[in-house]
Chain A
């Protein structure tokens, strides 16, 4: 799909203004980009989380497409039901739609952690749907608790930076790769700064037959203690520092580095990303100097591993 900015601006938004997400939150931008990639009748299933809670405070809703929320850990299962219902209703002549695209959306908590079983099951069963995770690196909705997506060194309300702890010590779960290991047709990582790459990948995800998975990086000024004007800059830096490299995986086998990451001669220093956020402030004290270096080394190691998978090294 060729993405022309002029055309994109004509596409009606799926999330209206006044949605009550926080200032600077990248999730509404992500949803705006999703809306620009749509190709026809669509239903959205949303796991419990910031996006769900803020956009649908009864009796108001910001959604202009049919939307359902059931619970936190089950959005992939709910989507399975929606997909198969539309399939059978069409076969039985009870649906006027030739095809309905079904999108499941979860945050990192609802996807990396509590919803992982339902996600894996739905991928294995091969339902034709797109799963979008907007990853803001913690349970931001419940008050910034650590998740499987939280980075090492990140301070949260359940991984405090204290006298003896540097925030979370463990590494982030490599979810896109785990999902790709299900050998589903399409997996891609995206960042809202690279909007063209985002829209093209999301459209591709809709177009493949079978499950597709999109891992979107989503800055959270409230949880990250970053300036609300810096979210898009952080979305760019996350790619440039290797925190969130952009790539695609086809059929779980073929890894393809995407343009914005491929064009990088080398990664920018991690510090450039960390220093914009209060949640990493403690890492710049002498006590955690070594820890910070270890995190940097880990990211470089992961970067080379990914480049090898993509056939670039």
Chain B
């Protein structure tokens, strides 16, 4: 299956609306003509499901919505529907994602192209409804592709591209589309929406491989032990390897249609940067503003905003940051007991084989929705400069917390 040829959509055919990140995703799901949505309410994702249910109540979508009794059942129903050949989506956050955990692995291993949109939220305890990345970072080994968005527009675009990527026969893996809870999920931004027809042409209808079909009975999800389990995982790993190439094709087609593309990551003023701030989602927007100010002061600093965390584009990231003296990672997750935290672990591993490596600093920020103002980014930047001068940095540290 190759990516469909699309035409540039004229500006006058685009619809401009002010949408929250959640609403942008709901609109994208509507235009993707999904067959089944199974979801359970959880803050701050709930608007996605509420808006979609309203579309359904008004007959604006041809979708069976299954209002399940838990997130575990949400992902389970998605697996069943996807196995039967339907285009399927769900949405969750935090505890909801934690409850889905077991079935995330099943969805990926059964090679079902489900799109799971997530409004990233902290995990309990203490119970907290605000943003950090502990939820989806925890699921980073589940076999899902993970794409993180910075704006409502990007959330809309990425949701549409996610189906194209997931359903490609070279991939056949589920995708998480992540936005920062409240900071983006509830923030209204300008979103340029494609005409329905353009999205339909772009995605086409799902062409399932080996679905549940009474005329061609197959057994899905059997027991595989020491003699075959490993080979099944090997196949799954290869599918993940195929993601970057397909993602580039999908983005190229999407760019042709809209003029927009994001890449596996975005480089912002990094070419001559001595210190590169590496982060994703909404802190990346703050970081870019900080960089602009620091640049005015003559500082050589830039931002690498990661979009694709799984698969982690290690070689490309290394190439993009290897010239810097230091890379300052900012991440909204603490991996308790780990030498550093999920994002910095990837960055350090990506750089390890280089003869000359930039120093890597790792700042844990914004847990439980603690605000990440520009000053927090500046603080991390200043610390990184200080560590560079000393020639030594701690493996990680927390910023913006009473100690």
Tell whether A100 is near chain B: CB-to-CB under 8 Å. yes
Contact segment of A71-79, A211-219, A227-235, A292-300: A71-79
Tell me the B39-74 residues at the A interface (CB within 8 Å): 62-64, 66-70, 72-74
What is the distance, in angstroms, from B64's C-beta to the closest C-beta of chain A?
A: 4
- B215 contact set on A, CB distance < 8 A: 41, 96
Tell whether A284 is near chain B: CB-to-CB under 8 Å. no
Chain A, Cβ-Cβ closest to B210: A66
**B61-99 vs A: 1/0 string, CB under 8 Å?**
011101111101110111111111110100000000000
Which of B70, B84, B219, B228 has a CB less than 8 Å from the CB of A89? B84
Which of B81, B103, B106, B217 has a CB less than 8 Å from the CB of A82? B81
Q: Are the CB atoms of B219 and A118 closer together than 8 Å?
A: no
- B69 contact set on A, CB distance < 8 A: 117-118, 120-121, 124
Tell whether B221 is near chain A: CB-to-CB under 8 Å. yes
- A57 contact set on B, CB distance < 8 A: 222-225
Q: Are the CB atoms of B64 and A87 closer together than 8 Å?
A: yes
Tell whether A172 is near chain B: CB-to-CB under 8 Å. no
Tell whether A59 is near chain B: CB-to-CB under 8 Å. yes
**A82-118 vs B: 1/0 string, CB under 8 Å?**
1011111101101111001000000000000000011
Given contacts A66-B218, A80-B73, A85-B86, whether A125 and B79 have CB atoms under 8 Å apart is no
Q: Are the CB atoms of B228 and A58 closer together than 8 Å?
A: yes
Q: Are the CB atoms of A88 and B35 closer together than 8 Å?
A: yes
What is the distance, in angstroms, from B112's C-beta to the closest C-beta of chain A?
A: 10
Q: How far is the CA of A64 from the CA of B217 in the complex (A)?
A: 6
Q: How far is the CA of A302 from the CA of B68 in the complex (A)?
A: 34
Q: Are the CB atoms of A56 and B223 closer together than 8 Å?
A: yes
- A56 contact set on B, CB distance < 8 A: 219, 221-223
Tell whether B354 is near chain A: CB-to-CB under 8 Å. no
Given contacts A43-B212, A66-B218, A70-B106, whether A118 and B223 have CB atoms under 8 Å apart is no
- A97 contact set on B, CB distance < 8 A: 214
Q: How far is the CA of A89 from the CA of B67 in the complex (A)?
A: 19
Tally of chain B residues near chain A (CB < 8 A): 46
Which of A64, A85, A100 has a CB less than 8 Å from the CB of B36? A85
Q: How far is the CA of A124 from the CA of B9 in the complex (A)?
A: 45
Tell whether B38 is near chain A: CB-to-CB under 8 Å. yes
Tell whether A26 is near chain B: CB-to-CB under 8 Å. no
Q: Are the CB atoms of B103 and A70 closer together than 8 Å?
A: yes
Q: Are the CB atoms of B73 and A118 closer together than 8 Å?
A: yes
What is the distance, in angstroms, from A43's C-beta to the closest C-beta of chain B?
A: 5
Q: How far is the CA of A41 from the CA of B73 in the complex (A)?
A: 25
Tell whether B319 is near chain A: CB-to-CB under 8 Å. no
Given contacts A69-B222, A70-B103, A117-B70, whether A85 and B64 have CB atoms under 8 Å apart is yes
Given contacts A58-B228, A91-B62, whether A81 and B36 have CB atoms under 8 Å apart is yes
**B8-49 vs A: 1/0 string, CB under 8 Å?**
000000000000000000000000000110100000000000
- A91 contact set on B, CB distance < 8 A: 62
Q: Are the CB atoms of B84 and A43 closer together than 8 Å?
A: yes
Q: How far is the CA of A117 from the CA of B217 in the complex (A)?
A: 29
Q: Are the CB atoms of A67 and B217 closer together than 8 Å?
A: yes
Tell whether A42 is near chain B: CB-to-CB under 8 Å. yes
Tell whether B356 is near chain A: CB-to-CB under 8 Å. no
Q: How far is the CA of A65 from the CA of B110 in the complex (A)?
A: 18
Q: How far is the CA of A42 from the CA of B88 in the complex (A)?
A: 21
- A71 contact set on B, CB distance < 8 A: 76, 102-103, 106
Which of B73, B205, B218 has a CB less than 8 Å from the CB of A94? B205
Chain B, Cβ-Cβ closest to A83: B80
Given contacts A65-B217, A88-B63, A97-B214, whether A81 and B222 have CB atoms under 8 Å apart is no
Given contacts A59-B228, A67-B220, whether A85 and B35 have CB atoms under 8 Å apart is yes
- B85 contact set on A, CB distance < 8 A: 85, 89, 94-95
Chain B, Cβ-Cβ closest to A42: B214
Q: Are the CB atoms of A81 and B76 closer together than 8 Å?
A: yes
Q: How far is the CA of A224 from the CA of B221 in the complex (A)?
A: 29
Given contacts A42-B214, A70-B103, whether A81 and B81 have CB atoms under 8 Å apart is yes
Q: How far is the CA of A73 from the CA of B73 in the complex (A)?
A: 9
Q: Are the CB atoms of B221 and A92 closer together than 8 Å?
A: no
Q: Are the CB atoms of B76 and A74 closer together than 8 Å?
A: yes
- A76 contact set on B, CB distance < 8 A: 73
Q: Are the CB atoms of A68 and B220 closer together than 8 Å?
A: yes
Tell whether A288 is near chain B: CB-to-CB under 8 Å. no
> Which 7 A-B pairs have CB atoms at the shortest separation, nearest pair first?
A81-B80, A121-B69, A41-B214, A56-B222, A77-B73, A81-B81, A81-B77
Could you list 16 A-B pairs, sorted by A, with CB under 8 Å? A41-B215, A52-B223, A53-B223, A69-B221, A70-B79, A70-B80, A74-B76, A77-B68, A80-B77, A82-B80, A82-B212, A85-B83, A92-B35, A95-B85, A121-B69, A125-B66
